[in-house]
Amino acid sequence: METYRHSENNNPSSDLVIVNEGAPVKGGDRILLRSGYHGFVSVNNFIFKDWLTIEAESGHEAILSQFKATGAFKNFYLKNLIIRKDSYLGTENYWEADDITHNTNACMYLGSSDFWGKGESVKVKWINVENN
């Protein structure tokens, strides 16, 4: 993904520099998910200048086990998704899996960090969050 980060660690007022220039996914894009399990989404220091939309395609039920954003993040739009912990398809119990329990065992977690910069601008619409 083509994103941006602050040019200096621990200085969120520093200029933004591009990361992965020319990558196929960038701010302003829509990622459409079809019915089924799509794992967990974990992003750290992903800043988009335009909104990146992640949504279920019309008529589909896209399921995630977790959405987690940490560090500096900006301009994520989650739409028409199901976030359900019991959908986890890993090799161990979801409550024991490092991918899910690192920092939190929540279905949706947004955590800023002063070191990398603040998290901001996450929109959700028609999200069904289930913690069974």
Q: Could you give the number of structural domains in the chain?
A: 1
Residue-level pLDDT at 103: 44
pLDDT single digits (tens) 81-93: 988 766 555 555 5
pLDDT of residue 116: 60
From residue 13, alpha-carbon distances to 9, 34, 88, 111 in Å are 10, 38, 38, 18
Q: What is the pLDDT of residues 19-39, one digit of tens each?
A: 889 888 899 999 999 999 888
Q: Are 33 and 8 a contacting pair, CB within 8 Å? A: no
Q: How far is 87 from 37, CA to CA, in rounded Å?
A: 7
Angle at 30 between CA 74 and CA 70, to 5 degrees: 30
Name the residue range of residue 13's domain.
Answer: 3-130
**Is the pLDDT assigned to residue 3 strictly greater than 90?**
no
The dihedral region occupied by 67, where left means phi > 0, alpha psi between -120 and 50, and beta the remainder, is: beta
Task: Kindly state the average pLDDT of the residues 55-76.
Answer: 87
